[in-house]
Structure 1
Amino acid sequence: MSFRSGAGQLRTFCKSVKPSLRAYGVSGQRFVSQSAAHKNTAVSFEAPSIANKMAAHVDPPSSVAYLKTLSKPELFSLGIIGCVTTSKLLLNFVIKIFPYVPVFFVKLLVSKLYCGGDTVAEVRECGKQLQKRGISNMMLSLTIEDAEGVKNVDIGYIVNETIRSVHEVLKPNMLQQLETAVDVNDVAPGYIALKPSALVANPAQVLLNFNNPEWKAQRDELVKNCAAITQTVYDLNHQLLKKYPSRKAPFFVSTIDAEKYDLQTAGVYELQRILFEKFNPTSSPIVSCIGTWQLYLTDAVQELQAELERAERDGYKLGVKLVRGAYIHSEPNRETVIQPTKRASDINYNSVMTKVIADLLAKGSKSTYGHLVVASHNYYSQILATEQLAGKDHSYGKCNVVLGQLLGMADNVTYDLIKNHGARNIIKYVPWGPPLETKDYLLRRLQENGDAVRADNGWPLIKAVAKTLF
């Protein structure tokens, strides 16, 4: 069956898979890998019929409906993006010359599409604009980072600015909506993204030596900085919970972003665990911290399963952000640490996602998974999650599943989920900060998400922009 003919066929498809998804999702089976580390865990994940469902594809909706909501300057900027992504050769050329493009030129042409602004005031305004589109909240990310340890950045400044953005952007954005909401659970949480490589000097070596006693002082500094920000989130959550006791989801969430594989396995997973134990005790009705698992990694399922068992044993809840992965072009050992095919990554991602959602729906506040962010531009994954949550309004499980995409990317998917599927649990990842740093962020997006950018844009985007304008 073709899905190009519109929402009617898509709804028919969703209805056809709904019974099997429910039967699959609430079975209670855990995703335990039976294979050795660095082997493809996806192939034996489920029976072939389920694997086919997990790897299915639905063409994303046309961009025209969303583009009609934009201003002419925004359409012009998107037209430029369309032009530079018409071919892989041209995109690679743009990536090479991008570091030499003047900052003012980048800001004038494309920054506003993908970045929240340079200042707190500009980011607040970005939040208001997102609300007008039906996107109730953001995952804020101060873009200053120094993974290679060569910038000599002011770590204290990053910590203080991040805390300030919680108080001066996320908090007013949340309070304004809570005061007018029919149901306080209709407002998605506000998130603050913490990049471990931005929160300690010489971050790569600190993470690689996270459990080395000789690096204890530096490790403790990283933990202290992450904990200071997360403590702000935790305190605000419990203050607001007293005022809004019917709230089932966090008001704010501290999010540990993923790093490259060697840093992730050597230090980031352990960093997440330390914060989970401190800020997500089972005695708390809501979690305040989530970590990130990259499902294109061959051992991500094993890592998540091991963390689930630790959480159940040690009395804390997991907060989970699921991504496919962002370092496919820069991982030095791609052939061993990353799934061999896109299909295998899709199976891994959708299988884990549906199982976590099923656990949250079945067990509610008793689930060891306290919160889930489905961070994906893949239309099928987003539809799969939305369909699984259908009819579960106001349940603990549904309130604690949020869909997310990067600002400026997959906006046609976001628009469709809101307008045609009634989704309210949507956020956008919003980077902000000094212009030079946001330029570096845009370069990383081109490098790490270049294939996705090209697939989403190129000639189809140019044609859609032209159709919208003329």
Structure 2
Amino acid sequence: MRSRIVTRAQPLRVARIQACAPITTTPTSTPFRRKEAAVQPRIQTQPQNRVFKELPLSDLVRTLSVLSVAALPAPLLSAIIGFVRRHSSSIVSSRILSWPIRRTFYKAFCVGESKSEIAANIATLRSRGINGVVLSFAREAKLDGSETNAAAGKEDLALKSWVASNIETISQVSSSDYIAVKFTGAGAKAVQAMQNFKYTDSTMVDGLKALKEGMFEVCEFAKQRGVKVMVDAESSLHQPAIDYLTLEAMAKYNTEGSALVFNTYQMYLKASLENLKSHLQIASSKGYTMGIKLVRGAYIYVEPDRAGIIQDTKPDTDAAYDEAVDMLLRGTHTTTEKPWTAEVMLATHNTQSVDTAMSLFRSRPAGKQPVQKLVFAQLMGMADEISMKLANDIKAISAETKANDVSVYKYSVWGSLEDCLLYMLRRAEENQDAAARSRVTAGLMLKEIGNRFAFWR
């Protein structure tokens, strides 16, 4: 859910689902045109209101402390991250070392460990105008070869554990929330099947049978609870299998006029826009509602080979993201196919994307549209000024129009300090690429603190 600087890379060939020809869209003028030279997103530094007015002073101080670490020179920050990753077990077991991490980074990025703590933190977010959470279990699979495939005839314990953890995550949230699912968390056997997947090879499709059944078990429980299932994008090495599994789940669970299952499209990949169009065509032909989350991308630095599959520049990624948003919110589609319908989440920390998408959604002609509701999302602990401003704007719009077709969510994880440590390290690494965003957030928070202590105003 973030914006990353894109560099040129080395080739990678991956399998792609080509069940239908891509949708062709009618060229239209778009409000998203950016100047090619503009590498940094436009950031709104003069909000109309004090967006952090409702945050307690303790939250402001904690976030500023986290941002101050993220603002360290890149070599120093990388050295700190590397040290923490190597000695994570010792750090977690030390009360002296774990206490400041728990009070700062953990509370900033993670929603909690116990059911009561998670419920209280989600309730706090809702009290501030955030509609809910996209929640994921923080523990991740070890993909370093330390896990071995289950012997023939034995239960795949890693897959069973993955299903159980996702079901437990569903039990932590309410019917207005989402859970985030990572297929690589299902263990080494599932990951190997995903890497071997080829859509045209029936034996490779059969290799995903157990993972597909596990996914359907998760979806069944989510359906009973009214919770939506957001499938996270991952490395392009695994993405073809992820697309296949998610489309299969959509065809089964998105058939009642709404989306239970969502797929994620990372626009730093050159193929993502055409894949999105193709998947809309598949959904249209099969008569189900597409669930779509758009991100610029989270896995760009773990791609094994990059040239040919990665956008050449950051503005190219922006342009692809903007074109996808424009296509979805304008509702363009081919005249020879049935109209498509979709539910859309825009996961972005880019102010220009948020402002323009909101304007485009609000200015659509009256009548039935393929996208009836629009959801924005930001990572918990990041881009809080965007989330809070959206919450204020949505509240004002709802009071005026009585409409509830736009909402804002926070993506977070739950689990123990040890489970969440790897996730927090990734967030710290991401903040290195979001230096401009961090400075704006810190500036607005410092200004808010100044307003509270300026008694003469």
TM tier, smaller: 0.7 to 0.9
Distance in 2, matches of 1:398 and 1:311, equals 14
Aligned equivalent of 1:93, options 79, 87, 103: 79
Tell me what 2:62 maps to: 77
Q: How does 1:102-121 map to 2 (within 5 A)?
A: 102-103=91-92, 104=98, 105-121=100-116
Q: What per-residue deviation string (whole Å, max 9, x for no partner) do you get for residues 92-129 of structure 1?
A: 23322232362324212211111111122222112101
Aligned equivalent of 1:206, options 190, 193, 203: 193
Following superposition, the deviation at residue 391 of structure 1 comes to 6.0
Residue type at the aligned position of 2:436: A
Tell me what 2:442 maps to: 461
Tell me what 2:154 maps to: none
Distance in 1, matches of 2:374 and 2:218, equals 23
Aligned equivalent of 1:280, options 235, 243, 254: 254
Residue 300 of structure 2 aligns to a residue whose secondary structure is coil
The alignment status of 1:325 with 2:306, answered yes or no, reads: no
Residue 297 of structure 2 aligns to a residue whose secondary structure is coil
Q: 5+ residue gaps in structure 2?
A: 1-21, 93-97, 148-156, 398-405
Tell me what 1:444 maps to: 426
- Return closer, same or farther for 1:273/1:459 CA change in 2, 3 Å cut-off: closer
How many residue pairs end up in the alignment?
394
Aligned equivalent of 1:124, options 109, 119, 126: 119
Residue type at the aligned position of 1:77: R
Distance in 1, matches of 2:367 and 2:101, equals 43
- Return closer, same or farther for 1:415/1:168 CA change in 2, 3 Å cut-off: closer
Following superposition, the deviation at residue 164 of structure 1 comes to 3.1
- Return closer, same or farther for 1:216/1:355 CA change in 2, 3 Å cut-off: closer
Tell me what 1:58 maps to: 42
Larger RCO: Structure 1 or Structure 2 (Cα < 8 Å, ≥ 6 residues apart)?
2
| Equivalent pair of 1:404/1:427 in contact (CA under 8 Å) | yes
TM-score by length of 2: 0.76
| Equivalent pair of 1:328/1:448 in contact (CA under 8 Å) | no
The alignment status of 1:410 with 2:383, answered yes or no, reads: yes
Q: What per-residue deviation string (whole Å, max 9, x for no partner) do you get for residues 126-183 of structure 1?
A: 2101111101111111122216165657432332232233234224xxxxxxxxxxxx
The alignment status of 1:160 with 2:142, answered yes or no, reads: no
- Return closer, same or farther for 1:467/1:288 CA change in 2, 3 Å cut-off: closer
Following superposition, the deviation at residue 339 of structure 1 comes to 0.8
- Return closer, same or farther for 1:359/1:307 CA change in 2, 3 Å cut-off: same
Range with greater deviation from structure 2 (92-101 or 431-440):
92-101
| Equivalent pair of 2:43/2:437 in contact (CA under 8 Å) | no
- C-alpha RMSD of matched pairs (Å): 3.4
TM-score by length of 1: 0.74
Distance in 2, matches of 1:71 and 1:332, equals 43
Q: How does 1:183-222 map to 2 (within 5 A)?
A: 189-211=176-198, 218-222=207-211
Distance in 2, matches of 1:117 and 1:205, equals 31
Following superposition, the deviation at residue 47 of structure 1 comes to 7.1
Following superposition, the deviation at residue 54 of structure 1 comes to 10
Residue type at the aligned position of 1:294: Q
Following superposition, the deviation at residue 55 of structure 1 comes to 9.4
Distance in 2, matches of 1:360 and 1:116, equals 38
Distance in 2, matches of 1:378 and 1:122, equals 30
Distance in 2, matches of 1:433 and 1:228, equals 22
